[in-house]
Amino acid sequence: MYVVVPGPDEVSRSFAKSLADSIKGSLCEPAYKQFPDGEQYMRLTCDVKGADVIYVKTMLPSQDSSLVLSALAADSARSSGAERVTLVAPYMAYARQDRQFLPGEPVSIRSVLRALWAAGFSHMATVEMHKPDSLRQFPGASVNVRPYVFMAEVLGIRSSNYVVLSPDLGALERAKMLAEHLKVPYDYIEKERDRITGQVTMKVKQLDVSGRDVIIVDDIISTGGTVSKAAEILRDQGARSVTVIVAHAVLAPGAEERLRSAGINNVFAANTTPAQGSFVRQVDVAPLVARELAGIMGVSNNEQ
């Protein structure tokens, strides 16, 4: 028996409902409250004894609060006799501090993943962690769900006129993954900095984008600066259209207007963070997460 337990926020609740539908599990809405001193409280309102409990909690915004709630949920499920407790974190907190950049810094994602394991989670899934290798720090079974091909399928993207680009060499694997599915070329955008003026220029490494429909693939949009600059350059080079597909839209103030004014036609993001504005369209990737959970949990879902 699978019991899906959502966090208190709307993103987690919506994601949990879709996930429960996909695996034919039951949905258990817990009781949440916050004490006057800011401490949090949660209580499971259903019987989970002997069940596989899946706690769904996106970790943006309020990353610290989300981590505490996740730990409380794991302890509650274990104390109530759950057979197994799995965390589904559509957006994973602290993933970008994946190494020690300066002496004395922690590797934050390592600390967080070990804490979640210690709290009682034996399995976990997340959508496109910044560096997927970071999941190796989680002692239990885990899966990094890569949403780009699934999103393209849902959106009906199929044309030989597409080219797929990553905003830099480091993200080329994401572009390659989608391009191979679409059977179209892929490339990355090269950045060069003038050593005298400090000015940064960007260009497509090899491909000619004139007359082509371009898809830019990345894991996250925050300020939108890099993607917007890339879109402007692609337009100058004759691209017919520019579409952006990202796992997480974490839009800083001004980002939506920046994306609009850069000549980007569409921005599609997975439903891992709160929806912001009208320009970014979200795609439900919970059915894909359900499918990927099968690999680490033996979960069945109604798409198989």
Name the least confident of 30-44, 82-96, 185-199, 233-247.
Answer: 185-199
The 3-state DSSP class for residue 282 equals strand
6 and 142 assigned to the same domain: yes
Q: Is pLDDT of 199 > 80?
A: no
136 and 12 assigned to the same domain: yes
Average pLDDT for 267-291: 95
Which two tokens mark 198?
A: 């400090």
- The confidence score (pLDDT) of residue 304 equals 37
Q: How confident is the model at residue 171 (pLDDT cuts 50, 70, 90)?
A: confident
How far apart, in whole angstroms, are the C-alpha atoms of residue 226 and residue 165? 13
Q: Is residue 195 part of a domain?
A: yes
- The confidence score (pLDDT) of residue 194 equals 63
- The confidence score (pLDDT) of residue 109 equals 96
Q: Is pLDDT of 196 > 80?
A: no
- The confidence score (pLDDT) of residue 170 equals 84
The 3-state DSSP class for residue 294 equals helix
Q: Is residue 94 part of a domain?
A: yes
Q: How confident is the model at residue 200 (pLDDT cuts 50, 70, 90)?
A: low
Q: How confident is the model at residue 193 (pLDDT cuts 50, 70, 90)?
A: low
Q: Is residue 270 part of a domain?
A: yes
- The confidence score (pLDDT) of residue 251 equals 92
160 and 234 assigned to the same domain: yes
14 and 163 assigned to the same domain: no
Q: How many distinct structural domains can be found in the chain? A: 2
243 and 292 assigned to the same domain: no
CA distances in angstroms from 264 to 156, 188, 207, 271, listed in the order given:
18, 17, 19, 20
Q: Is residue 302 part of a domain?
A: no
Q: How confident is the model at residue 303 (pLDDT cuts 50, 70, 90)?
A: very low
Give me the CATH number covering residue 137.
Answer: 3.40.50.2020
Average of per-residue pLDDT values in the chain: 93
How far apart, in whole angstroms, are the C-alpha atoms of residue 169 and residue 172? 5
Which two tokens mark 190?
A: 């090269």
- Domain containing residue 55: 2-146+286-297
Q: Is residue 17 part of a domain?
A: yes
Q: Is pLDDT of 87 > 80?
A: yes
Average pLDDT for 195-212: 77
108 and 210 assigned to the same domain: no
27 and 110 assigned to the same domain: yes
Given the DSSP bridges, would you call strands 266-270 and 123-127 parallel, antiparallel or unpaired? Answer: unpaired
Q: Is residue 303 part of a domain?
A: no
44 and 131 assigned to the same domain: yes
Indicate which residues carry an active-site annotation: 191
> Which comes out higher in pLDDT, residue 199 or 79?
79
Average pLDDT for 160-167: 95
Q: Where are the beta strands (DSSP E) in 92-227?
A: 123-127, 141-145, 162-166, 186-193, 200-204, 213-221
Tens digits of residue pLDDT in 247-274 = 999 999 999 999 999 999 999 999 999 9
Q: Is residue 194 part of a domain?
A: yes
Predicted TM-score (pTM) of the model is 0.92
109 and 32 assigned to the same domain: yes
Name the least confident of 24-38, 133-147, 190-204, 273-287.
Answer: 190-204
CA distances in angstroms from 290 to 122, 189, 255, 279, listed in the order given:
17, 33, 31, 27
Average pLDDT for 19-40: 97
137 and 261 assigned to the same domain: no
**Number of other residues whose CB lies within 10 A of the CB of residue 43:** 11
Taking Cα atoms as reference points, which of 225, 180, 233 lies closest to residue 204? 233
Tens digits of residue pLDDT in 121-131 = 999 999 999 88
125 and 8 assigned to the same domain: yes
123 and 163 assigned to the same domain: no
> Which comes out higher in pLDDT, residue 197 or 238?
238
